[in-house]
Amino acid sequence: MKQKTLLAAVGAALAVAAVAPAQAGETMDAIKARGEIRCGVSDGLPGFSYTDQKGVVRGIDADFCRALAAAVFGDANKVKFTPLTAKERFTALQSGEIDVLSRNTTWTMSRDTGMGMVFPAAVVYYDGQGFLVNKKLGVKSAKELDGATVCIQAGTTTELNLADYFRTHKMQYTPITYDKSDESAKGLEAGRCDVLTSDQSQLYAQRIKMANPDQYVVLPEVISKEPLGPVVRPGDHEWFSTVRWTHYAMLIAEELGVTSKNVDEMKKSNNPEIRRLLGVDADFGKAIGLPQDWAYQVIKQVGNYGESFERNVGKGSPLKIERGLNALWTQGGLQYAPPIR
Residue 9 has what pLDDT?
40
Residue 264 lies in a domain: yes
- Give pLDDT tens digits for 317-334: 988 898 999 999 999 999
**222 and 238, same domain (yes or no):** no
**134 and 119, same domain (yes or no):** no
Residue 312 has what pLDDT?
96
CA distance 180 to 84: 9
**175 and 108, same domain (yes or no):** no
DSSP letter, residue 20:
P
Residue 24 has what pLDDT?
55
CA distance 205 to 92: 24
Name the residue range of residue 145's domain: 128-226
CA distance 49 to 313: 11
**206 and 265, same domain (yes or no):** no
Whose CA is closest to 18, among 239, 279, 310? 279
Residue where one domain finishes, among candidates 198, 226, 254: 226
Residue 13 has what pLDDT?
40
Residue 8 has what pLDDT?
41
> What CATH number does the domain containing 47 carry?
3.40.190.10
- Give pLDDT tens digits for 107-121: 999 999 988 899 988
Domain count for the chain: 2
**114 and 152, same domain (yes or no):** no
pTM confidence score: 0.86
Residues of the chain short of pLDDT 70, as ranges, are 1-24
